[in-house]
């Protein structure tokens, strides 16, 4: 039976299938678009406006005076730390993120199959997510890794340091830059493992979403484990790996351990809110450019089933 | 004459005699054993790295102040005491703080997961002109942290006036109507409802990637059966997205629980648990009066009480995760649409 809802009939006559799809798409995205304008763009524009001001405490609360590009000029030419910290965070991001991603894929691949104690292993690998995002990690970094005087245990964290390794590698005739790189990574193993909890979980979920029939076909065709990984597993999880890469970059840049982030928070605590916002905005414009480049390079290589 | 074995081998595409087959089987077995050995070695090493801080916290939280400077105490304290937990309980106002946290967290997580799923689906499956540009903006919002916009947001919720309705009413009554939403969980609910909560953009991104990978045939079948886009979403996509939903929910719970920056901004009194932890050291005088400690005692016990407090803050999360773990792993295994 044909429904005779007049409203619906008008709708059907006016919109083509494409227009209808677009309309429904916009409806689905609508809450976010409202939020974007009200709770992001307007406050953001407000914040940008502050960066051209000098804030000071006057008789009637905060007072603003327009100073133009002063804050930006200060950040680039006068602040001794800003440019240095900015470049060093970007360069270390470039090599830390690939390691985090490879490590997460590797761990997720190991944890995927059934083995005794898998539940235990998975529980453990989620600990960083529970702990690392809160205040607790700050306490841990100070008390456990910083080596406070109140305990003797702190000294044992030197197991994560690799001072001797560098000498061994250089003596073995390995190029200097490469051995420096290796040593640097070994020193950061603790940090890197702690930073890959989310990525492991995302990739693990993606691995379980690959239909088993794909592997059955591959086995019948006589594929090796290596081929199975590169021809099935990797393309199938590539959308998630893409999320994980973007996430890692952002997580790296917004981490409180990051030098620039620390500067942002410090300046805000000093009461120089306008300068803090200025350096934050420059910083995130730079990060945005990096993400757009990554998006260009990797986004096209991602495989979608449909 | 072909034996059964060689027949099966030719099916795989290679002709092997029986001798070669047993050799390859042996090779495979060796490979499996090596893989197992490697796996366990790796998991044990990683467990050490990842559990070390927790064990450290437990060990320190159980110490009495005599053990603090005793070099012979490495892991197991000589005078095991639970008093640190008792003090932390008082300093954190534990039951109230947990209540405040849950009041903020439970509705936020539910709203956030649903809205992000909806928006993610919209981005994944519908074509409209401004989709690409909106998606680029979405990436931008993930990158810009709340720190840059927190002050305008604070002002917004101090004088909250949705869509300027209050201002319009102001023309009638003479005074603009605004509501002070600070010290209530409403800022969190509202931000989440409009997809702007803590890391909402990331979850939208996750859901978008997830839905893009779902077979189109599912939706086509639903369409033929007479489902509109919204009922397709609710009845077909949501039940099939259990894996992504649970992943996102878990992250959402953890990040709402651990958030202290935003909470510290929006709350003055009904502080949630993670903010209480940041002010724990400043409140030490509370136990100084209650238990008659000297200020030297307080100085000494500072770190152990803080460590006990840390454990008490993460304990509920660990319990939730251990209980939910089974369901969680099962669900991510079941979501694969076997076709």
Most confident region among A8-17, A75-84, B16-25, B189-198 by mean pLDDT: B189-198
Rounded CA-CA distance B191/B156 in Å is 12
The larger pLDDT score, comparing residue B78 to residue A196, is at A196
User: Which chain A residues contact residue B119 at CB under 8 A?
Assistant: 28-29, 31-32
Using CA atoms, how far apart are residues A206 and A222, in angstroms rounded to an integer? Answer: 24
Per-residue pLDDT, averaged over B195-208, amounts to 89
Based on the number of CB atoms within 10 Å of its own CB, is A31 exposed (0-12), middle (13-18) or buried (19 or more)? Answer: buried
How many Å apart are CA A194 and CA A190, to the nearest integer? 6
Domain ranges of chain B: 18-62, 84-335
Phi then psi for A173, rounded to 5 degrees?
85, 15
Selected residues 88-147 of chain A with any CB under 8 Å from a CB in chain B: 107, 110, 115, 117, 119-131, 133-136, 139-140, 143-144
Pairwise CA distance, residues A208 & A210, whole Å: 6
A185-205: b (≥16 Cβ within 10 Å) or e: ebbbbbbbbbbbbbbbbbbbb
Packing angle, helices A118-132 and B295-334, rounded to 10: 130
- Could you tell me the pTM of the whole model? 0.80
Report the pLDDT value the prediction gives residue B189, as an integer from 0 to 100. Answer: 94
Percent of chain B with pLDDT over 90: 16
* Chain A closest-CA separation from residue B269 CA (Å): 19
What b/e string do you get for B108-147 counting C-beta neighbours within 10 Å, with b at 16 or more?
bbebbbebbbbbbbbbbbbebeebeebbebbbbbbbbbbb
In angstroms, the CA A193 to CA A83 distance is 28
Question: B158-168 pLDDT, tens per residue?
Answer: 888 766 677 77
Instruction: Name which of B199, B247, B61 is nearest A133 in CA terms.
Output: B199
- CB contacts of A134 in chain B (<8 Å) are 257-260, 274, 277, 313-314
The CB-based long-range contact list for A46-54 (8 Å cut-off, 24+ gap) reads: A46/B149, A46/B151, A46/B152, A47/A277, A47/A281, A47/B148, A47/B149, A47/B151, A47/B152, A48/A277, A48/A281, A50/A273, A50/A274, A50/A277, A50/B151, A51/A274, A51/A277, A51/A278, A51/A281, A53/A274, A54/A274
CB contact at 8 A, B128 and A26: yes
pLDDT at B97: 93
Lowest mean pLDDT among A240-244, B11-15, B221-225: B11-15
Q: Which residue has the higher pLDDT, B74 or A251?
A: A251
- The predicted model gives B329-337 an average pLDDT of 51
What mean pLDDT comes out for the span A115-124?
Answer: 80
Q: Roughly how many angstroms between the first and final C-alpha of chain B, as a whole number?
A: 38
> Cβ–Cβ of B247/A24 closer than 8 Å?
no
Find residue B274's DSSP bridge partners: none
Task: Determine the Cα–Cα distance for residues A129 and A194; give it in Å rounded to an integer.
Answer: 8
Whether domain A92-299 has CATH 1.20.120.1200: the reply is no
Contact A30, A253 (CB under 8 A): no
* Section B247-275 average pLDDT: 87
Q: Is residue A164 predicted with pLDDT exceeding 70? A: no
Mean pLDDT taken over chain A: 79
pLDDT above 60: residue B4: no
- Asked whether the beta carbons of residue B321 and residue A130 sit closer than 8 angstroms, the reply is yes
A288 to B140: CB separation less than 8 angstroms, yes or no: yes
In A228-287, the residues whose Cβ lies within 8 Å of chain B are 239-240, 242-243, 246-247, 250, 253-254, 264-265, 268, 273, 277, 280-281, 284, 287
Q: Residue A35: its pLDDT value, please?
A: 92
Average pLDDT on B217-240 reads 87
Average pLDDT of span A29-58: 86
Q: Write out pLDDT tens, residues A167-185.
A: 777 777 777 777 777 777 7
- Pairing, β A53-58 against β A61-66: antiparallel
Most confident of A42-56, A147-161, B17-31: A42-56
pLDDT band of residue A153 (cuts 50, 70, 90) is very low
Tokens 């605004």 sit on residue: B178
Chain B residues within an 8 Å CB radius of A151: 60, 68
The fold adopted by the segment(s) B84-335 is: MetI-like fold (1.10.3720)
Q: What is the pLDDT of residue A125?
A: 80
DSSP B236: I
Could you give the ipTM of this predicted complex?
0.80
The segment with the largest mean pLDDT, out of A155-169, B144-158, B191-205, B313-327, is: B191-205
pLDDT tens digits along A1-36: 555 566 555 555 567 888 888 899 999 999 999 999
What pLDDT is stored for residue A162 in this prediction? 55
Three-state secondary structure call for residue A57: strand
Please list every residue in chain A whose beta carbon sits closer than 8 Å to the beta carbon of residue B266.
Answer: none
Q: What is the pLDDT of residue B122?
A: 94
* Cβ separation B314–A284 shorter than 8 A: no
Q: Could you say which DSSP state residue B147 is in?
A: G
Q: Do A36 and B193 touch (CB under 8 A)?
A: no
Interface test with A, best of B190, B199, B254 (most A CBs within 10 A): B254
Please report, for chain A, the start and end positions of each structural domain, with discontinuous segments joined by +: 92-299
Give the pLDDT band (50/70/90) at residue B113. very high
- Is B156 a residue whose pLDDT tops 70? yes
pLDDT tens figures, A212-246: 888 888 888 888 888 888 888 898 888 889 888 98
Per-residue confidence (pLDDT) for residue A240, from 0 to 100: 85
pLDDT at A266: 81
What one-character-per-residue DSSP string does B251-278 give? HHHHHHHH--HHHHHH-SSS--HHHHHH
Q: How confident is the model at residue A197 (pLDDT cuts 50, 70, 90)?
A: confident
pLDDT interval class at A154 (50, 70, 90): very low
Q: How confident is the model at residue B66 (pLDDT cuts 50, 70, 90)?
A: confident
Q: Supply the pLDDT for residue B193.
A: 93
Q: What is the pLDDT at residue A151?
A: 37
HSE of B26, CA atoms in CB hemisphere, 13 A: 6
Mean pLDDT, rounded, for B251-275 = 87
Judged by average pLDDT, the poorest of B95-104, B185-194, B318-327 is B318-327
Q: For the segment B301-332, what is each residue's pLDDT rounded down to a tens digit?
A: 778 888 889 889 988 888 888 777 666 655 55
Count of CB pairs separated by less than 8 Å, A with B:
280
Q: Which of A157-171, A271-285, B98-112, B259-273 has maximum average pLDDT?
A: B98-112
User: Are residues B212 and A239, on separate chains, in Cβ contact within 8 Å?
Assistant: yes
């Amino acid at each position: 039976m044909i429904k005779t809802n007049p409203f619906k009939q008008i709708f059907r006559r006016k919109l083509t299938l494409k227009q209808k799809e677009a309309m429904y798409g916009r409806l689905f995205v609508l809450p976010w678009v409202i939020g974007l304008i009200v709770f992001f763009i307007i406050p953001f524009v407000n914040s940008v406006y502050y960066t051209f001001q000098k804030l000071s405490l006057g008789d009637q609360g905060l007072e603003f005076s327009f100073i133009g590009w002063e804050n930006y000029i200060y950040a680039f030419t006068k602040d001794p730390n800003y440019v240095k910290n900015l470049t060093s965070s970007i360069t270390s991001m470039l090599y830390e993120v690939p390691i985090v991603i490879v490590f997460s894929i590797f761990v997720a691949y190991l944890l995927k199959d059934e083995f005794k104690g898998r539940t235990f292993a998975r529980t453990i690998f989620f600990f960083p997510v529970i702990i690392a995002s809160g205040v607790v990690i700050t306490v841990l970094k100070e008390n456990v890794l910083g080596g406070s005087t109140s305990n003797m245990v702190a000294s044992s964290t030197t197991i994560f340091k690799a001072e001797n390794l560098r000498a061994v590698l250089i003596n073995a005739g390995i190029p200097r830059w490469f051995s420096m790189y290796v040593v640097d990574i070994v020193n950061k193993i603790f940090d890197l493992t702690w930073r890959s909890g989310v990525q492991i979980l995302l990739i693990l979920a993606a691995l379980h979403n690959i239909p088993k029939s794909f592997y059955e076909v591959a086995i019948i065709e006589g594929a090796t484990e290596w081929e199975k990984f590169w021809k099935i597993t990797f393309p199938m999880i590539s959308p998630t790996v893409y999320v994980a890469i973007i996430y890692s970059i952002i997580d790296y840049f917004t981490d409180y351990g990051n030098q620039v982030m620390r500067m942002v928070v410090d300046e805000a605590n000093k009461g120089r809110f306008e300068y803090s916002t200025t350096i934050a905005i420059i910083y995130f414009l730079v990060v945005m450019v990096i993400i757009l480049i990554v998006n260009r390079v990797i986004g096209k290589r991602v495989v979608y089933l449909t | 004459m072909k034996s059964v074995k060689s027949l099966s081998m030719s099916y795989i595409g290679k002709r092997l005699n029986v001798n070669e087959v047993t050799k390859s089987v042996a090779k495979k077995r060796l490979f499996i054993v090596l893989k197992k050995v490697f796996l366990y070695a790796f998991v044990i090493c990683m467990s050490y790295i990842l559990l070390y801080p927790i064990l450290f916290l437990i060990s320190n939280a159980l110490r009495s102040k005599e053990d603090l400077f005793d070099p012979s105490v490495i892991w197991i304290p000589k005078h095991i005491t639970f008093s640190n937990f008792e003090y932390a309980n008082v300093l954190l106002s534990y039951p109230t703080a947990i209540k405040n946290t849950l009041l903020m967290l439970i509705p936020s997580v539910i709203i956030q997961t649903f809205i992000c799923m909806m928006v993610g689906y919209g981005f994944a499956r519908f074509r409209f002109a401004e989709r690409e540009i909106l998606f680029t903006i979405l990436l931008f919002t993930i990158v810009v942290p709340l720190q840059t916009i927190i002050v305008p947001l604070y002002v917004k919720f101090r004088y909250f006036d949705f869509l300027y309705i209050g201002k319009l009413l102001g023309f009638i009554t003479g005074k603009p109507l605004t509501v002070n939403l600070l010290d209530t969980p409403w800022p969190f609910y509202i931000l989440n409802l409009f997809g702007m909560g803590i890391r909402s953009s990331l979850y939208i991104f996750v859901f978008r990637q997830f839905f893009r990978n779902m077979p189109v045939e599912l939706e086509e079948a639903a369409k033929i059966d007479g489902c509109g886009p919204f009922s397709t979403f609710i009845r077909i996509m949501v039940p099939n997205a259990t894996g992504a939903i649970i992943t996102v929910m878990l992250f959402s719970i953890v990040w709402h629980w651990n958030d202290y920056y935003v909470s510290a901004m929006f709350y003055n009194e009904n502080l949630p648990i993670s903010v209480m932890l940041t002010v724990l050291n400043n409140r030490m005088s509370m136990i100084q009066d209650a238990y008659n400690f000297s200020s030297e005692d307080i100085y000494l016990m500072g770190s152990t009480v803080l460590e006990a407090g840390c454990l008490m803050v993460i304990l509920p999360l660990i319990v939730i995760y251990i209980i939910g773990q089974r369901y969680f792993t099962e669900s991510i295994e079941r979501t694969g649409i076997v076709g």
